[in-house]
């Protein structure tokens, strides 16, 4: 399995672990409006398809896939 796939799977599993822990502890879900801001960007049909496929493959929401991709690219570009 390629390194990027292993990292994405690990992060997805971590997200699931966090959700399970919240459910067990009775911690309420944070409202989207309290932690994120809506922004519109233009994407190609291929970009949209890839986001859809990654969301389906990981069980993540589309905004989580996009956020993770941005953070990973930022880490690679800004720390090298």
pLDDT higher than threshold 80 for residue 2: no
- Asked whether 69 and 24 are in contact (CB, 8 A), the reply is no
- Asked whether 13 and 59 are in contact (CB, 8 A), the reply is no
pLDDT in tens, 33-77: 777 888 899 999 999 999 999 999 999 999 999 999 999 999 999
Q: Which two tokens stand for residue 61?
A: 């929401």
């Amino acid at each position: 399995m390629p390194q990027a796939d292993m990292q994405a799977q690990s992060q997805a599993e971590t997200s699931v672990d966090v959700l399970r822990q919240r459910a067990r502890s009775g911690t309420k879900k944070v409202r989207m409006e309290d932690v994120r801001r809506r922004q519109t960007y233009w994407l190609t049909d291929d970009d949209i398809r890839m986001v859809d496929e990654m969301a389906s493959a990981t069980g993540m929401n589309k905004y989580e896939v996009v956020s993770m991709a941005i953070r990973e690219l930022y880490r690679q570009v800004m720390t090298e």
